[in-house]
Amino acid sequence: MLLTNEYPPNIYGGAGIHVDYLSRELAKLCSVDVRCFGNQKIRQDALSVTGYDLKNTSYTAPLPLPAIMGAIQRNLDFNTTNIDADIVHCHTWYTHLGGIIAKLNYSIPLVVTTHSLEPLRPWKREQLAGGYDFSCWVERTALQMADAIIAVSDDTKKDVLNHFDVSPEKIHIIHNGIDLNEYHKTENKDLVQTFGIDLSKPYILFVGRITRQKGIIHLVNAIKHMHDGFQIVLCAGAPDTPAIAEEMASEINSLQQTRPGIIWIREMVSTPAKIALYSHAALFCCPSIYEPFGIINLEAMACETPVVASAVGGIKEVVLENETGFLITTRQDTKGAFLSGAREQFEHDLAEKINILMQNADLRRKMGQAGRRRAEEMFSWSSIAARTRELYESLIN
């Protein structure tokens, strides 16, 4: 049984993408019962998906606590529906309580995949207020109670050991993956042009949520250091808070007054649109200040697009420096905050590497082709599902 906040069509982040593909590949190897937030009802051979909706009109708790209480309610609902699974596998803190309840009441092993860690996301307090204390507590409790923890990168395993009292032996590194049949270079100029992009000029691309973690504000700040002659396409939606949404809008509006070619796509686009944007981009930029894996970089690489990204977390295990792109040092403390002067240096370095690549089409082509080869050799979902099932079997046996 997989417990998840996100599942199609309700996906806004990498964890949702992970569960979507993992569940479908696992269903080729065993029966899979997915329980998620929403109203989904899917039955496809060995795959069963049930969404749990929420009636919260009677909630009187102040914002943002209804979101926390709603997650708790759905975790209870996951368990009041009978569970006949041999194992429960949780994704993100939103479902950890459900996994704890299932482990204790149904006497089945608990697996937790660490897509991110709450102690390394202190800015979440902006979004959750006191609810951040709850998310930290439930994550810590679930990881300590888990029979196995899946880390999506080697750096994530190190982070778990640094911040939680767990045994190294129960942490298993299984990377995220990519559907190489779906994510590949494609020609779809008409779709790209619907976003107002001028294909007679090259463009750099960002795809992600408007959140401190994704570092989009740093990319926006770096624009003033970038050369003219290319467009900057920011495919950025789902802001964490009204404050960061307002900050983003203010910065972009100001820049658009002096630099042409800054295009902000505010909605979360469809997968075909995202693939088209990757495929026609000159390069992809991932300025995250915290990223356990960074599946968006893998998506871009599969579409033969070179990457300029932060040298943080699992990104260093996906993007190869000087081969599939460039990595930029962030210089942060143990809580993820920039050291003195490091933020400005990071933004300057980000722009410098973007400028270098945008001036060299041959290098972009070479790095893009190398990125596709790396995606093919290292990150197929079928192998990831097989390794996950082997882990399940070891716990049950």
Q: Write out pLDDT tens, residues 91-124.
A: 999 999 999 999 999 999 999 999 999 999 888 8
The 10s digit of each residue's pLDDT in 178-206 is 999 999 999 999 999 999 999 999 999 99
Indicate whether 331 belongs to any domain: yes
Residue 59 sits in the same domain as residue 129: yes
Q: What is the pTM of this model?
A: 0.80
Q: Both 159 and 206 in a single domain?
A: no
Cα angle 387, 93, 17 (rounded to 5 degrees) comes to 50
Residue 182 lies inside a defined structural domain of this protein: no
Asked whether 148 and 391 are in contact (CB, 8 A), the reply is yes
Residue 280 lies in a domain: yes
Do residues 373 and 385 both lie within one domain? Answer: no
Tell me the mean pLDDT in the region 63-67: 92
Q: What is the pLDDT of residue 363?
A: 98
Inter-CA distances, 348 with 162, 245, 279, 363, Å = 30, 23, 26, 21
> Is position 199 within any domain?
yes
Both 197 and 112 in a single domain?
A: no
Which pLDDT belongs to residue 251? 93
Within this chain, do residues 142 and 79 fall inside the same structural domain, yes or no?
yes
Is residue 80 over pLDDT 90? yes
Task: Name the residue type at position 169.
Answer: E
Q: What's the mean per-residue pLDDT of the chain?
A: 95
Is residue 68 located within the same domain as residue 8?
yes
| Alpha carbons within 13 A on the beta-carbon side of 397 | 6
Verify that 155 and 219 share a domain, yes or no: no
Per the structure block, which two tokens stand in for 72? 């708790």
Based on the domain organization, do 199 and 134 belong to the same domain? Answer: no
Do residue 25 and residue 154 come from a single domain? yes
Tell whether 184 is covered by a domain: no
Confidence band, pLDDT 50/70/90 cuts, at residue 329: very high
**48 vs 381, more confident:** 48
Same domain, 232 and 328: yes
Q: Does the pLDDT value for residue 72 go beyond 80?
A: yes
Report the CATH number that the domain containing residue 364 is assigned in CATH.
Answer: 3.40.50.2000
d(CA 270, CA 196): 16
- Residues whose CB is less than 8 angstroms from the CB of residue 341 and which lie 6 or more positions away in sequence, other chains included: none
Per the CB < 8 A criterion, the answer to whether 98 and 83 are in contact is no
Supply the angle between the helices 271-280 and 295-302 in degrees, to the nearest 10.
60
Structure tokens at 212: 């401190």
Task: For residue 57, give the amino acid letter.
Answer: T
Total domains present in the chain: 2
Give residue-wise pLDDT tens across range 333-371.
877 788 889 999 999 999 999 999 999 999 999 999 999
> Are 120 and 234 in a shared domain?
no
Whether residue 348 is contained in a domain is answered as yes
Alpha helices in 35-186 (DSSP H): 65-80, 96-106, 124-128, 131-145, 154-163
Q: Which residues constitute the domain of residue 260?
A: 189-378
pLDDT tens digits along 6-63: 999 998 888 999 999 999 999 999 999 999 999 999 999 999 999 999 988 899 999 9
Structural domain includes residue 183? no
Q: Would you say how long the chain is, in residues?
A: 397
Residue 266 confidence (pLDDT): 92
In a domain, 58, yes or no: yes
pLDDT tens digit sequence for 133-166: 999 999 999 999 999 999 999 999 999 999 999 9
The CA angle 56-6-309, to the nearest 5 degrees, is 130
Q: Does one domain contain both 112 and 224?
A: no
